[in-house]
Amino acid sequence: MNILILVLLALAGVVLLVLELFLIPGMGIAGIAGVCCQIGAVVYAYMMIGATAGHITFFAVLLATIVAIYAFYKSRAIEKMGLEAKIDDKVELAAPGKKISRLQEEAEAAEQKSEATSNQPEA
């Protein structure tokens, strides 16, 4: 029964950490819960089974976490979840001290148009 509790705690911790790192943004509830599960598994092993089991559990949890993160990263699952948008637009910068934008050009065109309509004689 003790080993089942250790395995479930360690497995839950690894799964929660992988979820936190790759699926859930930020360091939130899943990451904290994962670390707590892993610490709980190690402490449980030290207290209920003994120091040797505690050492083995500590290194097993550490190794399982590293292997799970590496395996998830290498599985290319992240690429399937992410967007693959490519931006090919190029931005051309104006000379220093000069800013000509489309908005300024439109304003000048509207001003010229209003001047042309105001200069026309009324019929």
- Quote the CA–CA distance of 8 and 61 in Å, as a whole number: 11
Whether 86 is covered by a domain: the verdict is no
Cβ neighbours of residue 42 under 8 Å, at least 6 residues apart? 54, 57, 58, 61
Q: Could you give the number of structural domains in the chain?
A: 1
Q: Which residue has 């120091």 as its token pair? A: 51
Whether 107 is covered by a domain: the verdict is no
Domain range spanning residue 9?
Answer: 2-80
- Quote the CA–CA distance of 86 and 92 in Å, as a whole number: 18
pLDDT tens for 79-101 read 776 667 777 777 666 556 556 66
Which residues of the chain are modeled with pLDDT < 70? Answer: 27, 81-83, 91-103, 119-123
**Whole-number pLDDT of residue 34:** 87
Whether 23 is covered by a domain: the verdict is yes
Whether 29 is covered by a domain: the verdict is yes
What CA–CA distances, in Å, run from 40 to 10, 37, 112? 8, 5, 75
Whether 118 is covered by a domain: the verdict is no
The reported pTM is 0.60
**Whole-number pLDDT of residue 18:** 84
Whether 113 is covered by a domain: the verdict is no
